[in-house]
Amino acid sequence: MYYNLVKKSMFLFFALCFILVSGVSSFAGNTVKENSQTNDLELLRKVIYKQFPSVRGYLLKEEKQYDNVTVYMVDLYVDASSDRTVPVLVYKIGNNFFVNGSFLQIDTRDGFVEDISLRLMEIQRQEMQEEIKQKLPVIYSKLNKDRFIKIGNGKGTNEAIAFVSLGCPHCRHFLSDLITKKYDGTFYLIINGDDKLLKYILCSANKEKAISNILNNKVDIKKINSLRCNIDVGNYLQYYNDIAMQLNINGVPSFIMKKCILSGYYPGVLDKIKECQ
């Protein structure tokens, strides 16, 4: 059982070794080199009870060394009235411990255990965003803009794809400004939210007016239900979701240009959109 666990998960750690080893400087304020007299098993005990505070106890079954990675194979006693155990793997790389998806960092002077998984996730997010930024011109050029909702006067060269939701206040603010202030350029809208309202927009000859009606609560849901339109809204939403996953879009409004991705609608965002052309 342990062999299979090690086999399935070791690649995660060797892939992240560079982050942990070279990235220690990112945590320089909180990282303390391990005292040579500190007992690794005592640190292991602290990590286990930090990560699994409700366990009755544990049994260290085996310890293996793989280059600079130490793997502890541990059985957790999870029941108060039985000897049923659950196997877990604990990894140690330098001063960093990895247990079931969370990185733990040890300050051995006072035994303090700090969960640094959020900081690690932020590092990974930044690396992913940088990778996406490098691929963005190619991804942008391959998007099928005919499946988006085109709004704007088309003047100039400004162009952006906007991820919005009809239930998002900031998105509604942006859409209202887009329609009333007549921004120069072209915005291709990817609208998420109520399927019926999206169908109403897609089926409307004047999409700008349809959006305006929604923003001003002038839409009759009964009339939407009776629309004779063969557009498959689910197909559109699936395409939109695929793009969002590809570009790691997790918030609205977000603006996609050939050179960058911006999040939020705030004063000055339109100037930044121009800079990203």
According to the model, what pLDDT value does residue 104 have? 56
- CATH number, residue 260: 3.40.30.10
pLDDT confidence tier of residue 115, bands split at 50, 70 and 90: low
103 is written with which tokens? 């990185």
Q: Are residues 69 and 179 in the same domain?
A: no
According to the model, what pLDDT value does residue 7 have? 44
According to the model, what pLDDT value does residue 87 have? 85
Q: Are residues 80 and 141 in the same domain?
A: no
Q: Are residues 255 and 144 in the same domain?
A: yes
Q: Are residues 271 and 138 in the same domain?
A: yes
The DSSP string of 154-186 is --SS-EEEEEEETT-HHHHHHHHHHHHTT-SSE
Range(s) of the domain holding residue 239 = 131-275
**pLDDT of 233 above 50:** yes
268 belongs to a structural domain: yes
Q: Are residues 160 and 192 in the same domain?
A: yes
102-115 average pLDDT score: 51
pLDDT confidence tier of residue 31, bands split at 50, 70 and 90: very low
User: Is the entire prediction scored with pTM above 0.75?
Assistant: no
Q: Are residues 144 and 78 in the same domain?
A: no
Task: Give me the number of domains the chain comprises.
Answer: 2
94-121 average pLDDT score: 59
**pLDDT of 163 above 70:** yes
pLDDT confidence tier of residue 71, bands split at 50, 70 and 90: confident
pLDDT confidence tier of residue 114, bands split at 50, 70 and 90: low
56-68 average pLDDT score: 86
Q: Which of 86, 115, 144 delimits the end of a domain?
A: 115
> What's the Cα-to-Cα distance from 15 to each of 4, 99, 207, rounded to whole Å?
18, 16, 48
User: For a pLDDT cut of 70, what percent of the chain falls above it?
Assistant: 77
Q: Which of 115, 143, 173 delimits the end of a domain?
A: 115
Biggest alpha carbon–alpha carbon distance for the chain: 78
125 belongs to a structural domain: no
Q: Are residues 255 and 160 in the same domain?
A: yes
Mean pLDDT of the chain: 78
Q: Are residues 146 and 79 in the same domain?
A: no
pLDDT confidence tier of residue 129, bands split at 50, 70 and 90: confident
Calpha distance 163→171 (Å, rounded): 9
Q: Are residues 157 and 95 in the same domain?
A: no
